[in-house]
Copies of this chain bind each other. A is one copy, B any other.
Amino acid sequence: MTNLEALFLTSDNMAMDTDLYQLTMAAAYFENGIHYPATFELFVRRLPYNRSFLVAAGLEQALHYLLNLRFTEEAITYLRSQPPFQKVSDAFFDYLRKFSFTGSVHAMPEGTVFFPEEPILRITAPMIEAQIVETYLLTAVNYQTLVATKAARVVHAAQGRAVVDFGTRRAHGPQAGVLAARASFIGGCVGTSNVLAGYKLGIPIVGTAAHSFTMTFDTEMESFEKYHKVFPNHTILLIDTYDTIEGAKKATQIGSKLRGVRLDSGDLVSLSRQVRQILDKAGLTEVKIVASGDLNEYKIAALLSQGAPIDIFGVGTELVTSRDDPALAGVYKLVEQEKDGIVSLKLKLSSEKTTYPGKKQVYRRIDEHGNYLEDIICPITARKNQQGGKRALIIKVVENGELCYDLPNMKGIQAWTIQNLSHLPDNYKWIENADHYPVHKSSELEALRVSFTPL
Contacts and interface: CB of A to CB of B under 8 A. Distances in A.
A143 B166 contact: no
B240 A31 contact: no
Given A175-B9, A242-B349, A406-B2, A87 B230 contact: yes
Interface stretch (A111-119, A209-217, A422-430): A209-217
A454 B243 CA distance: 11
B20 A173 contact: no
Given A173-B143, A179-B7, A209-B25, A194 B19 contact: yes
Contacts of A232: 87
B182 A7 contact: yes
A233 B86 contact: yes
A179 to B, nearest CB: 5
Contact of A455 (B40, B63, B199, B219): B219
B168 A18 contact: yes
Contacts of A301: none
Interface in A16-70: 16-25, 27-29, 31-32, 34, 38, 40, 60-61, 63-65, 67-68
Contacts of A60: 4-5
A174 B351 contact: no
B242 A19 contact: no
A3 to B, nearest CB: 8
Contacts of A28: 209, 213, 226-227, 229-231
A317 to B, nearest CB: 5
Most chain B beta-carbon neighbours within 10 Å: one of A86, A127, A172: A172
A93 B353 CA distance: 56
A319 to B, nearest CB: 11
Interface residues of A, number: 136
A84 interface: yes
A265 interface: yes
A229 B34 CA distance: 14
Interface stretch (A98-106, A323-331, A379-387): A323-331
A361 interface: no
Contacts of A75: 199
A218 interface: yes
Contact of A174 (B21, B136, B170, B328): B136
Contacts of A7: 61, 175, 178-179, 182, 196, 200-201
A199 B16 contact: yes
A100 B229 CA distance: 26
Total copies of this chain within the assembly: 2
Contacts of A179: 7, 172-173
Contacts of A34: 216
Most chain B beta-carbon neighbours within 10 Å: one of A320, A327, A407: A327
A91 interface: no
Contacts of A19: 166, 168-169, 193-195, 207
A195 B75 CA distance: 10
A402 B219 CA distance: 35
A162 interface: no
Contact of A178 (B17, B87, B220): B17
Most chain B beta-carbon neighbours within 10 Å: one of A67, A169, A352: A169
Nearest to A23: B195
B195 A454 contact: no
A244 B8 CA distance: 39
A320 B328 CA distance: 12
Contact of A199 (B21, B29, B67, B78): B78
A297 interface: no
Contact of A241 (B79, B240, B348): B348
20 contacts: A4-B64, A6-B65, A7-B200, A13-B199, A17-B178, A17-B194, A17-B195, A20-B198, A28-B230, A87-B231, A135-B177, A139-B173, A140-B173, A142-B169, A172-B173, A172-B326, A173-B173, A211-B350, A242-B350, A317-B327
Given A2-B407, A140-B174, 10 more contacts: A5-B201, A8-B9, A8-B11, A21-B193, A22-B210, A38-B216, A65-B174, A143-B172, A241-B348, A242-B350
